[in-house]
Amino acid sequence: MFATGARAQCLPIAESEDVPHLHSFRTLSDAERLRQDMRSGGSMLVVGGGYTGLETAAVARSVGMRVTLIKRDNRILGRVAPAEIAAYFKELHLNNGVRICEGVELKILLVRRETDGVTAWLSNGGTIDADVGVAGIGVVPETGLAAQANLHVDDGIVVESAGRTSDPFIYAAGGCARFPYQGAQIRLESVQNAVDMAETMVRSIAGETAAYRSIPWFWSDQYSSRLQIAGFNQGHTHVVCPQGVGNSIVHLVLQLSPRYRGGRDQ
């Protein structure tokens, strides 16, 4: 079974060697290294407005850092949540002192060796200086070994519903695998997917008739708010925001038109 996961995408930097105060997230050691750089009064540049970037910004503000977050697209959470949720979390971060720059792309990151920091050159001609830089711009599935094994690879290791690759004796699960979901092949980067998918693969290997049909779900803790999502941000016709819901947990109901309703995966 392949469970090779994914690697963090890299920022465009002007130097090829390791940059002391530039961070990405994939392992516990990554988190411990970043924690050593977090200090009250320091400054942080976060590149990316998904879960990783926003959660990092929230933690940095909680320890007293000055935080600027830049997002290439025109809003945060553009790939994973509807505009209503994005607006809620943008206001939450602004109210907590984060500077958010949407629709701005990082062109190149320069390392300031003499002052021990980084300088970001932006697509709008501006620059941002920071003591610490964090990349939260997504991941790339680890498929090199699968490709060497001549398996079908297309933005992940392509598998069928039981987790078999193009070689029926080899399975793949987790963030490296693309599996069938509602008539399409998708790849998920979440703890839930990795655990549930691996359990299905084990049952299939043991001889059971098994197929991965888990409903995708995600969560994110930012300040005192928790975002909980079940299903995908796709195919909905309108949004319902329930009244009387406390600010500590954000709920959203995506109403579907009849043509999108159907099996348990909805």
Average of pLDDT values for 51-60?
Answer: 95
Per-residue pLDDT at 245: 47
Phi, psi of 89 (to 5 degrees): -75, -30
Task: Provide the percentage of residues in the chain whose pLDDT is more than 90.
Answer: 61
Helix, strand and coil content of the chain, in percent to the nearest 5, comes to 25, 30, 45
Q: Residue 164: helix, strand or coil by DSSP?
A: strand
Phi, psi of 8 (to 5 degrees): -70, 140
In this prediction, residue 264 has a pLDDT band, given cuts at 50, 70 and 90, of very low
Q: Residue 224: helix, strand or coil by DSSP?
A: coil
Q: How far is Cα 11 from Cα 19, in angstroms, rounded to an integer?
A: 11
CB–CB of 200/172 below 8 Å?
Answer: no
The contacts of residue 105 (CB under 8 Å, 6+ apart) are 70, 72, 122, 123
Per-residue pLDDT at 243: 62
Q: How far is Cα 86 from Cα 98, in angstroms, rounded to an integer?
A: 15
Residue with the larger pLDDT of the pair 238 and 188:
188
Tokens of 105: 């792309």
In this prediction, residue 38 has a pLDDT band, given cuts at 50, 70 and 90, of very high
Per-residue pLDDT at 15: 61
Q: How far is Cα 29 from Cα 4, in angstroms, rounded to an integer?
A: 18
| C-alpha separations of 200 from 137, 138, 173, 181 in Å | 30, 26, 9, 15
The per-residue pLDDT for range 3-13, each reduced to its tens digit, is: 999 998 888 88
Per-residue pLDDT at 18 exceeds 80: no
Phi, psi of 91 (to 5 degrees): -60, -40
CATH H-level, domain 1-215: superfamily: FAD/NAD(P)-binding domain (3.50.50.60)
pTM: 0.84
The per-residue pLDDT for range 135-163, each reduced to its tens digit, is: 999 899 999 999 999 999 999 999 999 99
CB–CB of 163/212 below 8 Å?
Answer: yes
In this prediction, residue 247 has a pLDDT band, given cuts at 50, 70 and 90, of low
Q: Residue 15: helix, strand or coil by DSSP?
A: coil
CB–CB of 221/57 below 8 Å?
Answer: no
First to last CA, the chain: 28
CB–CB of 261/237 below 8 Å?
Answer: no
Query: Crossing angle for the helix pair 51-62 and 83-95, nearest 10 degrees?
Result: 20
Per-residue pLDDT at 93: 97
Q: How far is Cα 107 from Cα 122, in angstroms, rounded to an integer?
A: 5
The per-residue pLDDT for range 180-209, each reduced to its tens digit, is: 988 889 999 888 899 999 999 999 999 998
Average of pLDDT values for 114-120?
Answer: 82
Q: Where are the domains of the chain?
A: 1-215, 217-260
Paired sense of beta strands 139-141 and 6-8, if any = antiparallel
In this prediction, residue 258 has a pLDDT band, given cuts at 50, 70 and 90, of very low
CA triple 39-123-90, angle to 5 deg:
55
